[in-house]
Amino acid sequence: MHLWYAYMTPRTIVPVIFGLLLTVVAVEHIFTMTILHGKSMPFSTMLLSTSGNGSDLHCPSVRLSARVLPQIALASYPGSGNTWVRHLLQQMTGIATGSVYTDEDLRLHGFPGESLSNGSVVAVKTHQLYDETFYDRTILIIRNPYETFLSLFKYIKANHTGAPIIDKYITEWGSFTANEIGHYGQFYTSWMKHLDVLPIFYDALKQNLTQELHRIKVFLGQSGIKGNVRCALANADGNHLRKHSAMPLDFFYSKEKRLAINLLINQTRKMFKDRFRNVSESMGTWML
């Protein structure tokens, strides 16, 4: 049998071998950078992720939509996991999420649609009260207010993934929570006015991510937006999950604050049960 290298001279073999070595090094570098930085690869060098059943999973890099999409709000009270859900939406659809805000850190680290709120993005992050003139549909994230206030305080004092120093809790935490209780109720009361809302509970995402992603996929599909749940599951955490406190929640809340927040939870639970009768999330377990 004649082999191709049998016809090559030492002068021609060396460049070929050198070229193969460069290719191996380049591929290894791409894989390493992708793992270290958690960034989507360009479509031309897309990785093949393998699902649990052994089939190949092709997930494109995040991009703006080539067609005009409906205005879908990704609404939540600050500290409820909006950034995480944005990441999941992008992984699932391959389309960038937008925002009514401008956060350069997010723009540079996985959210190319940051500050966009037009039809080029799959959903628009907002913490604002409901504006009936702007959004066609809404994905509404709800989280236990005890966890929400703590997460928001950490963000304000230490940005996306840090933790504030203990002095901040001593001097500012009490007045901060007192202020947020009223705003939390006002926010969700406002968004109950929207006629097309998909409620997504943060707890449910943590406990059964696959099921909740399928609910979101069906909701988006009604607007002609395709999604692959397995692409979201392949990189479910993203890069902006905030570290949880080692202290129990009741450590941060006085008896007086707990009474006020428990009342808030009861009011919010009644509001959601009246509007969404098929919502199974038990807000009663949130109370301290």
* 73 or 36, greater pLDDT: 73
Contact assessment for residue 284 and residue 269, using Cβ atoms and an 8 Å cutoff: yes
Question: In the predicted model, what is the mean pLDDT of residues 118-144?
Answer: 96
Q: Which amino acid, residue 124?
A: V
Q: What is the average pLDDT value for the chain, to the nearest integer? A: 81
In the chain, where the domains are located: 72-286
Multiple choice CATH, 72-286, 3.30.420, 3.40.190, 3.40.50, 2.40.50: 3.40.50
pLDDT at residue 25 tops 50: no
pTM for this structure?
A: 0.77
Which DSSP state fits 235? T
Contact assessment for residue 117 and residue 100, using Cβ atoms and an 8 Å cutoff: yes
Instruction: State the DSSP H helix or E strand holding residue 48, giving kind and residue range, or none if neither.
Output: strand 48-50
pLDDT at residue 2 tops 80: no
Confidence of residue 213 (pLDDT cuts 50, 70, 90): very high
Residue by residue, DSSP assigns 153-220 as HHHHHHTTT----HHHHHHHHHHHHHHHHHHHHHHHHHHTT-SSEEEEEHHHHHH-HHHHHHHHHHHH
CA–CA separation, 224 and 200 (whole Å): 20
pLDDT at 45: 25
pLDDT at residue 6 tops 50: no
Q: What is the pLDDT of residues 84-110, one digit of tens each?
A: 999 999 999 999 999 999 999 999 999
